[in-house]
Amino acid sequence: MRRHTGQFLRRLQRERGASEHTVKAYREDLSALAEYLADEDGRTPDPAAITVADLRGYVAALGEAGYAKSSVARRMSAVRSFFKFARREGWVQASPADALRNPRKSRKLPHFLSSEEVGRLLTTPPANKPMGRRDRALLETLYSAGLRVSELVGLNDGDLDFPQGLLHVRGKGRKERLSPLGSYAADALQAWLADRKLAANEVKGDEAPVFTNKFGRRLTTRSVARMLEKHLATAGLDPRTSPHTLRHSYATHLLDRGADIRSVQELLGHSSLVTTQVYTHVSTGKLREAYEKAHPRAG
């Protein structure tokens, strides 16, 4: 196998223009497989003799050795590329790697704030200054409607429906939805809009940006992130917190308080329920509590 690997790597560099870094990574990954398959005398099998069972054993060995799923997936990518080349060259009739599936990556649980922490953050901007009132309105709106930061900075005056308590939101892929707006956010928004001044070149009327900087121009997502960093430091909250954390917190708090997952999916504007289901994992404490209260044999 080592001889065939050398031919594959030379072809990879010559025909595909692979970088030295890529060739080095492929060499290491394929050498690791060859070492695993070698017999007691160090002889490696011919590619045609390698079976699906051999490769599954190799994947299992990597897992037992503590390799991260991403590292296993990368090594299997190199193995697939090698056997694809081997089949084209006639070294094997079929690739044993075709039957393998990459290990499923575990989804990271989203970082979120407790309701008490959210309350501290929302009251941190000073209410006696125009920019403080803007920041309060901005944070209240992010949390009240569970918006993405891009959706927030894209809000225009025409998207606000105070009588109905709704926001018209333009989400990913130009999908539009209506998001409920809580009374705290509505009050904060109206206080800010009374202060807001628009730059001369900004569009007026329904197309006027809701959130602007001190020059009257539409805020950017980076400006929102910098503003949040400042208020997090003042409130003494986790610096890992991002604007998206408030969206995570919104979804988690809704589920914790009994909202059904389909409704939360609609409110977040997720096209797939799978995307929303990650929030159920951070709400298991409440589910356990409900189970222990309700089940006659829970203990």
In the chain (299 residues long), the average pLDDT of successive 10-residue segments reads 86 79 89 89 88 90 84 89 91 89 67 93 95 97 94 96 94 85 95 92 88 94 95 94 92 87 87 74 60 69
Q: Are residues 95 and 153 in the same domain?
A: no
Res 288: pLDDT: 64
Instruction: Give the pLDDT confidence of 111-121 residue by residue, as tens digits.
Output: 889 999 999 99
Counted domains in the chain? 2
Q: Are residues 131 and 255 in the same domain?
A: yes
Residues paired with 212 in a beta bridge? 218
Q: Are residues 40 and 152 in the same domain?
A: no
**113 and 246 Cβ atoms separated by less than 8 Å:** yes
User: Where is the domain boundary, 99, 126, 150?
Assistant: 99
The answer to whether residue 228 is domain-embedded is: yes
Identify the domain containing residue 30 by its residue range: 2-99
**128 and 191 Cβ atoms separated by less than 8 Å:** no
Q: Are residues 181 and 214 in the same domain?
A: yes
26: amino acid identity, one letter: Y
Q: Let me know the angle formed at the C-alpha of 193 by 191 and 195, rounded to the nearest 5 degrees.
A: 80
Instruction: Give the pLDDT confidence of 247-275 residue by residue, as tens digits.
Output: 999 998 998 888 888 888 888 888 777 77
The answer to whether residue 198 is domain-embedded is: yes
Res 285: pLDDT: 58
The answer to whether residue 226 is domain-embedded is: yes
Determine whether 178 is exposed, middle or buried from the number of CB atoms within 10 Å of its CB (0-12, 13-18, 19+).
middle
Strand pairing class (166-170; 176-180): antiparallel
| Enzyme catalytic residues | 148, 172, 244, 247, 270, 279
User: Where is the domain boundary, 54, 70, 99?
Assistant: 99
The answer to whether residue 299 is domain-embedded is: no
Cβ partners under 8 Å of residue 212, min gap 6: 134, 196, 197, 198, 199, 202, 218, 219
Residue 62, domain CATH: 1.10.150.130
The answer to whether residue 135 is domain-embedded is: yes
Residue 148 DSSP one-character state: -
Residue 241, domain CATH: 1.10.443.10
Res 11: pLDDT: 86
Q: Let me know the angle formed at the C-alpha of 246 by 240 and 252, rounded to the nearest 5 degrees.
A: 105
